[in-house]
């Protein structure tokens, strides 16, 4: 049983006992009042007492349930608050209580025994409000414990798309990604739903994602469902809940989803996009550089051959049809950058002429790329 459910039943029990007791105690004054107004009234004390007690019991259930829902809403906001905000609220309540206790004799002297308690309660509420607002405005200057809580936790939250993609496992193996990985329970539920889909392709993708998670549990520092309480379900979609969780945890999101990337950045959440990383580590080639490639198929135009670099960049070799499935030294003539990625155009070195392009290919950069044929 969770602490919230335990507190709910405890709150409900206390409310029922309290209001049932009040109903029981009100029976005798009620009977005296009725007999004073209507002397001929003949009410049974026992049944009247049972009725008042039952009414108090039902009223206690309603009041306790409504009060707990309100209290749980406040607790949920406190749970999602940042550490320095929680510290500011605590200091505000404590300082308000101390000031109210100091003013207690003065307030009773002003209000007397009848209004003293009312003035004390009113002063406490006002001081709590003013103190919390004051401390919140100074939260950047609170003790180091609060500032430490505001630092980045180093946690990386995995989105469903990046788990299904599977490249996150290879990136972790290289050691370029540090910190603890976290998979929210609602992301795991979405992954399970995909794995149970009737569509064979979606089902295969979901099962691959579950396999990736199982491997990550053995190879990386991975947590699942531990911090979901920081972003409780409020009827919103997975992406919105993912952003709320990242803000509450001060964590980063790893994703391949373009829309989630933009939404998270607009709300101040740092996003690590695997597709952007893949684009950033592509080989940079300039016109005039020499490569050794292996055309593996024909191109759309006559005599063209298509080859690929190690990072997947397509190389269109003019006149490369004659070199299918064999290494050939080529010279890059142009580079095309499109929304789909980078595409290179080249021609065999033996067919290139420096006078045609104005580039002295005899001095072209060769680097170390001719050591190994690239398919």
pLDDT, averaged per 10 consecutive residues of the chain (375 residues), comes to 75 85 84 74 78 87 86 76 75 89 85 78 86 76 50 78 89 84 90 91 91 88 81 81 87 90 89 85 84 91 89 88 91 81 86 50 39 41
Exposed/middle/buried for 103, CB within 10 Å: 0-12, 13-18, 19+? Answer: middle
Q: Nearest to residue 343, comparing CAs of 292, 283, 256?
A: 283
- How many Cβ atoms are within 10 Å of 200's Cβ, its own excluded? 8
pLDDT at residue 338, rounded to an integer: 67
Place of tokens 């155009």: 345
Check if the beta carbon of residue 222 is closer than 8 Å to that of residue 181.
yes
Cα distances from 254 to residues 81, 183, 210, 324, in angstroms, run: 23, 10, 17, 40
CATH architecture of 290-363: Beta Barrel (2.40)
Query: Strand pairing of 328-338 and 290-293?
Result: antiparallel
> For residue 290, what are the β-bridge partners?
331
* Alpha helix stretches (DSSP H) within the chain: 3-37, 45-80, 83-137, 144-150, 160-165, 167-174, 185-195, 200-219, 238-249, 258-266, 274-280, 354-357
Largest CA distance in the chain: 125
Residues 28, 144: Cα–Cα separation, whole Å: 60
The sheet with strand 252-255 has its strands ordered as 222-224, 181-183, 156-158, 252-255, 271-273
Place of tokens 């406490």: 124
Q: Are 328 and 306 in contact (CB under 8 A)?
A: no
Closest CA to 123 of 140, 135, 111, 139: 111
Residues 6+ apart with CB under 8 A from 301: 318
Residue-level pLDDT at 141: 62
Q: What sign does the CA torsion over 57, 58, 62, 63 have?
A: negative
What's the token pair of residue 127?
């001081």
Domain spans in the chain, listed from the N-terminal domain onward: 3-141, 156-280, 290-363
pLDDT at residue number 367: 39
Rounded Cα distance, 259 and 262, in Å: 5
CA gap 34, 27 in Å, rounded: 11
State the fold for domain 156-280: Rossmann fold (3.40.50)
The three-class DSSP label of residue 212 is helix
Q: Do domains 156-280 and 290-363 have the same CATH topology?
A: no
């Amino acid at each position: 049983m969770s602490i919230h459910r335990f507190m709910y039943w405890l709150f409900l029990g206390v409310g029922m006992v309290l209001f049932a007791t009040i109903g029981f105690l009100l029976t005798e004054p009620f009977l005296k009042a009725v007999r004073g107004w209507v002397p001929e009234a003949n009410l049974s004390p026992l049944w009247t007492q049972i009725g008042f007690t039952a009414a108090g019991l039902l009223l206690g259930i309603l009041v306790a349930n409504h009060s707990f829902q309100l209290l749980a809403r406040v607790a949920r906001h406190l749970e999602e608050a940042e550490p320095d905000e929680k510290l500011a609220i605590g200091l505000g309540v404590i300082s308000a209580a101390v000031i109210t206790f100091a003013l207690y004799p003065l307030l009773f002297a002003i209000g007397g025994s009848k209004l003293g308690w009312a003035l004390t309660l009113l002063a406490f509420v006002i001081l709590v409000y003013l103190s919390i607002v004051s401390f919140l405005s100074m939260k950047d200057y609170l003790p180091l414990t609060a500032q430490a809580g505001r630092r980045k936790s180093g946690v990386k939250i995995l989105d469903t798309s990046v788990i299904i993609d599977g490249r996150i496992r290879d990136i972790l193996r290289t050691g370029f990604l540090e910190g603890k990985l976290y998979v929210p329970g609602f992301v795991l539920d979405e992954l399970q739903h995909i794995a149970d889909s009737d569509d064979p392709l979606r089902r295969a993708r979901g099962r691959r994602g579950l396999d990736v998670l199982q491997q990550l549990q053995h190879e990386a520092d991975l947590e699942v469902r531990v911090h979901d309480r920081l972003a409780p379900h409020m009827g919103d979609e997975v992406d919105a809940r993912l952003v709320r969780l990242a803000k509450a945890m001060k964590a980063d999101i790893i994703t391949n989803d373009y829309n989630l990337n933009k939404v998270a950045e607009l709300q101040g959440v740092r996003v690590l996009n695997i597709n952007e990383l893949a684009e950033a580590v592509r080989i940079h080639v300039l016109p005039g550089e020499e490569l050794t490639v292996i055309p593996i198929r024909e191109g759309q135009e006559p005599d063209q051959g298509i080859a690929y670099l190690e990072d997947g960049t397509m190389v269109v070799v003019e006149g490369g049809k004659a070199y299918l499935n064999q290494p050939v030294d080529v010279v890059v003539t142009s580079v095309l950058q499109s929304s789909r990625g980078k595409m290179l155009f080249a021609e065999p070195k033996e067919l290139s002429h420096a006078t045609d392009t104005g580039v002295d290919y005899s001095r072209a950069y060769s680097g170390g790329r001719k050591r190994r044929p690239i398919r």
